[in-house]
Structure formats: structure tokens, C-alpha cells
């Protein structure tokens, strides 16, 4: 359920972005992103493709991801999600049917990540 007054940005299926993306709020990716991505909360939806270095407090992967993840609170890889690269997270949830080809470091000392560069 979505919280009231919560700002959400959506990158839809028809959008392809190459570069740096910063968001202080929740970001949902249904399109194609490559580069660097920093957000308070990130969801890569089914059909979304991300090849990037990601820094976020919480990350949910239901689409395709390749790169490096630094999740301050939790990373969840859903059934049908595909994750490859390097993962560092305090908590990691891998659902049945997820594909993971990554080095994983569970960092129980991870503090909440400050999203820098966002005004």
C-alpha cells in the first residue's frame, strides 16, 4: 500500500536513460537505465532493465539488473527477477524463482545511506 503524501517517480517502459539519476523519494523503473542511480527507495519492475551502480536504502528487483548494489536496509529479489554483479546489503531476501549471479556481502554494520547530490 502506498503511503499518503509519498512522492513517487516512475520511469515508464518507453523511456531509456543513460547517465546519473538522483531521487530523495521512491523511484520505480519500468524502462531502461544505465549509469549511476541513487534513490531513497528503488523498485525495478518486471520488464525494467538497469545496468548501473545503485545506492539506496531499500531495493526491490522484479526485472533485470546488472552492476553493483549498495542497499542500506534491504534488497529483495522477486520471483522472475534477474540480478548479476556485486551486492552489499544489510538484509537480503531472494524469492523462489529469482535468478542471482552475484557476489553477495551481508553488511550488518551498514548505516542508512544519505543520498548526496540531491537538492
Digit-coded pLDDT (tens) for 32-68: 999 999 999 999 999 999 999 999 999 999 999 999 9
Cell of 34: 544505465
Q: Which pLDDT score, from 0 to 100, does residue 3 have? A: 54
Q: Comparing C-alpha atoms, which of 61, 55, 65 is closest to residue 92?
A: 61
> Is a pLDDT exceeding 70 seen at residue 80?
yes
List CB contacts of 65: < 8 A, sequence separation 6 or more: 44, 49, 50, 51, 54, 81, 82, 83, 84, 85
CA distance 50 to 20: 12
* Residue 33 contacts residue 11 (beta carbons within 8 Å): yes
More confident of the two residues 95 and 114: 95
Reported pTM = 0.86
> Is a pLDDT exceeding 60 seen at residue 119?
no
Amino acid at each position: 500500500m502506498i503511503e499518503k503524501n509519498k512522492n513517487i517517480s516512475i520511469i515508464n517502459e518507453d523511456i531509456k536513460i543513460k547517465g546519473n539519476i538522483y531521487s530523495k523519494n521512491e523511484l520505480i523503473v519500468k524502462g531502461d537505465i544505465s549509469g549511476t542511480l541513487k534513490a531513497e527507495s528503488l523498485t525495478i519492475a518486471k520488464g525494467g532493465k538497469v545496468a548501473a551502480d545503485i545506492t539506496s536504502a531499500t531495493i526491490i528487483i522484479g526485472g533485470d539488473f546488472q552492476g553493483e548494489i549498495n542497499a542500506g536496509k534491504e534488497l529483495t529479489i522477486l520471483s522472475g527477477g534477474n540480478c548479476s554483479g556485486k551486492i552489499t546489503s544489510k538484509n537480503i531476501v531472494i524469492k523462489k524463482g529469482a535468478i542471482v549471479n552475484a557476489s553477495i556481502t551481508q553488511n550488518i554494520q551498514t548505516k542508512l545511506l544519505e543520498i548526496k547530490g540531491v537538492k
